[in-house]
Amino acid sequence: MKIIFASNNANKLSEIQAALGNEFHLVSLNDIGFFGDIPETGRTLEANAIQKARYIFERFNTPVFADDSGLEIEALNGEPGVDTAHYSGTRDATANMNKVLAGLNNEKNRNAKFRTVIAYIEGDRELLFQGEVAGSISIEMKGDQGFGYDPIFIPENGNRTFAQMDKSEKAAQSHRIRALEKFVAFLKGLKPEQSE
């Protein structure tokens, strides 16, 4: 079964292909010759993931999935949320983290969660799979591993940021992997006649 992943992120693609095994053949946007921009105008992770998947499905009529992830902070009313990648107005990770830390200055409630939503479209079916990891925002940046907000996010029941953990330790608590596990379990449960 061929499935389009509405992304060109090679790392994500190989990670997902490894989880799926040989029954499914993942193809990227490059593989299908799509080099345009996909609109992301939704104001929730769910809306963005569905919008991206629909945009590609309407053009290629092949099973497709897309994902969107974000950091949601209680004291900031769920921000940065869908604006996670460019919260400061740029894609600069340090500027984004500084804006979060400034917004939480003197704030006791530092509860936060990372969330990933995967939208899958096949025929007239649209399904959502979600993974999340709860935690809190540290007082300052710590660690030099990972990317994005990893230096300020401490997963629950821990005392180190994601950026202070090695890849395998972080992956064991990853919101992306939790969403992906649900999606892979769904795909592997498809009967052959459903995926013809």
User: One of 31, 68, 83, 92 is an active-site residue; which one?
Assistant: 68
The verdict on whether 124 is a catalytic residue reads no
Q: What is the 3-state secondary structure (H, E, C) of the chain?
A: CEEEECCCCHHHHHHHHHHHHHHCEEECCCCCCCCCCCCCCCCCHHHHHHHHHHHHHHHHCCCEEEEEEEEEEHHHCCCEHHHHHHCCCCCCHHHHHHHHHHHCCCCCCCEEEEEEEEEEEECCEEEEEEEEEEEEECCCCCCCCCCCCHHHEEECCCCCCHHHCCHHHHHCCCHHHHHHHHHHHHHHCCCHHHHC
Q: Which residues contact 25 (CB under 8 A, 6 or more apart)?
A: 1, 2, 3
Q: How many residues does the chain have?
A: 196
Question: Could you tell me the end-to-end alpha-carbon distance of the chain, in angstroms, rounded to an integer?
Answer: 7
Tell me which residues are annotated as active site. 68
